[in-house]
Amino acid sequence: MVSDTLRTYEFQTVEKWLQEVCWRRYWKGWLEMRPDVWTSWRRRVQELGETLPATVMQRGQAVAAGESGVACMDAIARELIATGYLHNHARMWWASYWIHVERLPWELGADMFFRHLLDADPATNTLSWRWVAGLQTPGKTYLVRRSNIEKYAPGLLNDRTGSERIADGAVSPVVATEFAETARQTLPDYPVTLPRSDDRVGLWLHADDLLPEVGPLADLTPATVAAFSNGQRLAALGVGLADGLARSGAHFKCSSVLHNDADPAAGICTWATAHRLKEVAAFAPTVGPEADLVPRLRTLLSAAGVTLTLVRRTSDAHAFTLARAGFFPFWEKMSRHLRQQNTLMTRR
């Protein structure tokens, strides 16, 4: 997608669009170097569900269902539930309302978004909520203001019920507690090309990369392609997985199937043995649910005599190394790289 854009347009014409695309890649790279932020969030969601007072949980459920009593915030919650999508501004307003007005744990709000958003991404979702809470950039919280909504989405305020709670100056920040280890770690080392093999191979397609027909897996000759879901977020992932499987089946000229398994790691192993595979190839998942499967998956496949081979796109490997600190130092280096690519491509 980025390559096609750079090949077609001058960099300055599409710079803002490229910057937005690179935000997602930045978040992924940042989290790849700080995986405990993800595991800590998942752990906290479970802990809070088990330990918060019933009254707090009930209030959180009401707010998440669009029954907070603040009409504009309730409209946003109901839109998310009904459509699986929200404009970026609405996401920030509602997250800020949840954290700084309702004083509810950011982790539970992030979980609500992750379960409902069609484009939910482990890195973008988790780290954006941390940013609103003042953890991602320590001390810098994002506070919802009624005047900001009036400027960008005045229709949300046709019903002003409860809007005094988000009036300018009425919202004070909650000081969030940091539970995660955020020290930078070494990036995982994955090959950027697929090692040559004559073994019978299957392609594992997952939500972290749905374009295997472009890049290091494009010349693979799989006997079968499969994607796996445990049923959670299936509505959100189903369309993307189905599209990726259809394209993969056509490109690789083999069967492509979506499996729904309570235990995806075991399901992948069952699929591999049923198709007499000696190797399962895939893009290396980034930190999130798919990557959480890998340690156990590798063990199960190894016990069945199957090798798991994971590769990473060169473009991702390069971008992730740049996501060491804040976005704008990342973008300075990334934009210089993209400008050079643009110059080379448009000269051809």
Beta bridge partners of 203: 225, 281
Residue 227 domain flag: yes
Same domain, 48 and 148: yes
Same domain, 129 and 213: no
Residue 104 domain flag: yes
Same domain, 45 and 151: yes
Same domain, 161 and 232: no
Q: What would the pLDDT profile of 190-217 be if each residue is shown by its tens digit?
A: 999 998 888 999 999 999 999 999 999 9
Residue 319 domain flag: no
Same domain, 134 and 207: no
**Which of 49-53's residues contact partners 24+ apart within 8 Å by CB, and which partners?**
49/108, 52/105
CATH of the domain at 159: 1.10.579.10
% pLDDT > 90, the chain: 82
Q: Which residue has the tokens 């506070």?
A: 143
Residue 135 domain flag: yes
Q: pLDDT band for 345, please (50, 70, 90 cuts).
A: low
Same domain, 68 and 159: yes
Same domain, 160 and 213: no
Cα distance between residue 331 and residue 336, in whole Å: 8
% pLDDT > 70, the chain: 97
CB environment 21-49: b (16+ within 10 A), e (fewer)? ebeebbbbbbbbbbbbbbebbbebbeebe
Q: pLDDT band for 240, please (50, 70, 90 cuts).
A: confident
Nearest to 233 by CA among 111, 109, 65, 59: 111
202: helix, strand or coil: strand
Range ranked top by mean pLDDT from 18-22, 66-70, 339-343: 66-70
Same domain, 158 and 255: no
Tell me what the pLDDT averaged over the chain comes to.
93
The answer to whether 284 and 311 have CB atoms below 8 angstroms apart is yes
282, exposed or middle or buried, with CB in 10 Å at 0-12, 13-18, 19+? buried
Q: Is the pLDDT of residue 21 over 60?
A: yes
Same domain, 154 and 62: yes
Residue 79 domain flag: yes
Cα distance between residue 12 and residue 348, in whole Å: 18
Instruction: Provide the phi-psi class of 38: left if phi over 0, else alpha when psi is between -120 and 50, else beta.
Output: alpha
Same domain, 138 and 256: no
Cα distance between residue 151 and residue 146, in whole Å: 9
Q: Is the pLDDT of residue 6 over 90?
A: no
**Could you give the number of structural domains in the chain?**
2
Please give the pLDDT value at position 233: 58
CATH of the domain at 223: 3.40.50.620
Please give the pLDDT value at position 235: 57
- Note down the domain range covering 90: 34-166
Q: Is the pLDDT of residue 234 over 60?
A: no
Who has greater pLDDT, 34 or 17? 34
Q: pLDDT band for 7, please (50, 70, 90 cuts).
A: confident
Diameter over CA atoms, the chain:
67
Residue 214 domain flag: yes
Q: pLDDT band for 341, please (50, 70, 90 cuts).
A: confident
Q: pLDDT band for 178, please (50, 70, 90 cuts).
A: very high
Residues 6+ apart with CB under 8 A from 139: none
Q: How far apart are the first and last CA of the chain?
A: 18
Residue 17 domain flag: no
Q: Is the pLDDT of residue 250 over 90?
A: yes
Alpha-carbon separation of residue 234 from 155, 157, 187, 292 (angstroms): 32, 33, 30, 17
Same domain, 119 and 62: yes
Residue 122 domain flag: yes
What kind and span of H or E run contains 38?
helix 36-51
Cα distance between residue 180 and residue 44, in whole Å: 10
User: DSSP string of 58-108?
Assistant: HHHHHHHTT-SS-HHHHHHHHHHHHHS---HHHHHHHHHIIIIIS---HHH
Q: What would the pLDDT profile of 255-301 be if each residue is shown by its tens digit?
A: 999 998 889 999 999 999 999 999 999 999 999 999 999 999 999 99
Same domain, 136 and 246: no
Q: What would the pLDDT profile of 110-155 be if each residue is shown by its tens digit?
A: 999 999 998 889 999 999 999 999 999 888 999 999 999 999 999 9
